[in-house]
């Protein structure tokens, strides 16, 4: 019964990934999916560094700036002065618009970026789950650890999706920045 429970968890994760892949493959332009991903990434970063339930003086502006830089937002665009005098909605809209600029570059292979990052992180997730299974059970199933293991699988899956969304966002922004730099160099 417990092994079936574990198999059901992995099956639900697999179905989620395959459905997402099918949705991306079936669309001509994945900008809607990219918008959702960009919004998820920025919302989660704001919740981490600029939480709504904390006063502005307790916000981690430096952490948020570091995050923006890590996904390819240029330093001048991650200016802390702007952050310190705005509310969360203004901050979110400014940087969401900055990230969404990459969608205006029609040369960005959004479908390829999404699929390659999802596939990479999904394979890593499956490898990690296999490793964890072998490490915990070492050939003999300990039924008292299966519930804990299933919770770990769920948390690892959520983390895998978060990391994949950040990688997709970073890759799109970097691609946009590269296209912009290439066009600048062509003009010169």
Residue 141 φ then ψ, to 5°: -75, 125
Q: What is the pLDDT of residue 184?
A: 47
Instruction: Report the C-alpha gap between 61 and 5 in whole angstroms.
Output: 42
Q: Say whether pLDDT at 106 is over 80.
A: no
- 8 Å CB contact between 141 and 3: yes
Flag the least confident range among 39-48, 71-80, 113-122, 148-157.
71-80
Q: What is the pLDDT of residue 85?
A: 67
Reported pTM: 0.83
Instruction: Report the C-alpha gap between 34 and 100 in whole angstroms.
Output: 9
Q: Tell me how far CA of residue 122 lies from CA of 20, 23, 27, in angstroms.
A: 12, 16, 21
Domain spans of the chain, in order of start: 2-178
Residue 155 φ then ψ, to 5°: -65, -40
Token pair belonging to 43 = 């919302």
Token pair belonging to 41 = 């990434």
Q: Say whether pLDDT at 188 is over 50.
A: no
Q: Which CATH architecture has domain 2-178?
A: Orthogonal Bundle (1.10)
- 8 Å CB contact between 78 and 68: yes
- 38-67 pLDDT, tens digit per residue, is 999 999 999 999 999 998 889 998 899 899
Instruction: Report the C-alpha gap between 26 and 42 in whole angstroms.
Output: 26
**Arithmetic mean of pLDDT, 59-76:** 85
In DSSP notation, 16-84 reads HHHHHHHHHHH-S-THHHHHHHHHHHHHHHHHHHS-TTS-GGG--HHHHHHHHHHTT--GGGG-HHHHH
Better pLDDT: 129 or 134: 129
| The residue to which tokens 């059970």 are assigned | 137
Q: Say whether pLDDT at 105 is over 70.
A: no
Better pLDDT: 46 or 2: 46
């Amino acid at each position: 019964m417990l092994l079936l429970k574990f198999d059901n968890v992995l099956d639900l994760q697999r179905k989620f990934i395959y459905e997402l892949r099918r949705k991306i493959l079936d669309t001509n332009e994945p900008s809607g999916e990219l918008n959702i991903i960009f919004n998820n990434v920025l919302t989660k970063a704001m919740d981490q560094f600029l939480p709504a339930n904390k006063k502005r003086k307790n916000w981690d502006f430096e952490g948020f700036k570091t995050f923006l830089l890590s996904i390819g937002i240029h330093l001048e665009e991650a200016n802390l002065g702007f952050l310190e005098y705005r509310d969360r909605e203004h901050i979110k809209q400014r940087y969401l618009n900055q990230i969404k600029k990459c969608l205006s570059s029609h040369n960005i292979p959004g479908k390829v970026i999404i699929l390659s990052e999802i596939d990479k992180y999904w394979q890593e997730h499956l490898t990690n789950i296999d490793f964890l299974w072998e490490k915990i059970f070492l050939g003999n199933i300990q039924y008292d650890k299966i519930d804990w293991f299933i919770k770990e699988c769920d948390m690892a899956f959520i983390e895998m999706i978060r990391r994949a969304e950040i990688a997709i966002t970073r890759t799109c922004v970097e691609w946009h920045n590269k296209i912009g730099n290439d066009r600048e160099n062509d003009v010169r």
